């Protein structure tokens, strides 16, 4: 029972995916202007937490602290937000990134027509859309005014990197199997030594 409990703890990342959404944006980061740089949103989420929102959109909250934004020529910045999510809208053939209740950027591709965020996909290329957005980053406010239609943006979901506990997970599984499948010991049920000479010989050999 203890082994089963440990196994469930160390293997808890089995359903986690990393989502990456890229588009080419115009706006500002603090006082620096952005003129068509690649903007890459990324984050990880556990697929067991997918929900169906109004209008048929699938949503998945990203793990706290996992949401980042990468800006070409500047680097990757953590997003100082606690409500980032990814979404997929099969009816509109779109998927993307959002915060709170607002979809920040969406990528359109016909292959997203049956997608529900539960499995790896892509990268899928397509036009990018998004409203004017102001986000807080470690380098100041990110003010995104516009996503350019070309070059196309992309959406991708891939298995999250194996956590350090993956090896421990495998070891616990091995021990669990060994415990229940190992044959009984040869010494089990052996009769006690006969009294007399045999008993004396055993005592001597010990």
Asked whether residue 154 is assigned to any structural domain, the reply reads yes
134 in a structural domain: yes
Helix (H, G, I), strand (E, B) or coil at 174: helix
Domain that holds residue 45: 7-159
Residue 185 has pLDDT above 70, yes or no: no
pLDDT tier for residue 177 given thresholds of 50, 70 and 90: very low
∠ at Cα 58 (54, 62), nearest 5°? 120
Give pLDDT, residue 161. Answer: 76
Of 81, 86, 71, nearest to 17 by C-alpha is: 86
In a domain, 97, yes or no: yes
Distance (Å, rounded) from C-alpha 175 to C-alpha 72? 47
Contact 11, 37 (CB under 8 A): no
Domain-embedded: residue 192: no
Q: Which of 1-10, 78-87, 116-125, 146-155 has the lowest mean pLDDT?
A: 1-10
Per-residue pLDDT at 97 exceeds 90:
yes
pTM, 2 dp = 0.72
Domain presence at residue 178: no
**By CB neighbour count within 10 A (0-12 exposed, 13-18 middle, 19+ buried), where does 96 fall?**
buried
Please give the pLDDT value at position 34. Answer: 93
Selection from 40-49, 99-108, 159-168 with the highest mean pLDDT: 40-49
With pLDDT > 70 as the criterion, what percentage of the chain qualifies?
Answer: 71
In a domain, 32, yes or no: yes
Domain count, the chain: 1
Percent of the chain surpassing pLDDT 90: 55
Per-residue pLDDT averaged across 49-61, rounded? 92
d(CA 33, CA 11): 44
Q: Which residues contact 66 (CB under 8 A, 6 or more apart)?
A: 42, 43, 44, 45
Q: How far apart are the C-alpha atoms of 133 and 97, rounded to whole Å? A: 12
Mean pLDDT of 113-137: 94
- Does residue 181 fall inside a structural domain? no
The backbone torsions φ and ψ at residue 138, rounded to the nearest 5 degrees and listed phi first, read -70, -10
* pLDDT given at position 40: 97
């Amino acid at each position: 029972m203890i082994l089963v409990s440990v196994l469930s703890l160390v293997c808890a990342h089995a359903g986690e995916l990393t989502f990456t959404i890229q588009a080419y944006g115009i706006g500002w980061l603090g006082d620096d202007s952005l003129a068509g740089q690649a903007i890459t949103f990324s984050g990880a989420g556990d697929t067991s937490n997918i929900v169906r929102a109004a209008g048929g959109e699938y949503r998945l909250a990203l793990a706290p602290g996992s949401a980042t934004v990468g800006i070409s020529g500047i680097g990757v910045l953590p997003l100082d937000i606690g409500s980032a999510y990814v979404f997929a809208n099969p009816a509109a053939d779109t998927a993307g990134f959002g915060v709170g209740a607002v979809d920040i950027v969406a990528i359109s591709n016909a292959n997203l027509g049956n997608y529900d965020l539960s499995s790896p996909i892509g990268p899928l290329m397509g036009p990018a859309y998004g409203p004017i957005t102001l986000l807080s980053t470690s380098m100041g406010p990110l003010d995104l005014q516009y996503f350019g239609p070309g070059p196309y943006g992309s959406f991708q979901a891939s298995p999250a990197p194996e956590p350090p506990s993956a090896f421990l997970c495998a070891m616990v599984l091995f021990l669990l199997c060994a415990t229940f499948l190992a044959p009984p010991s040869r010494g089990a049920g052996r009769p006690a030594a006969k009294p007399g000479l045999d008993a004396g010989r055993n005592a001597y050999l010990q």
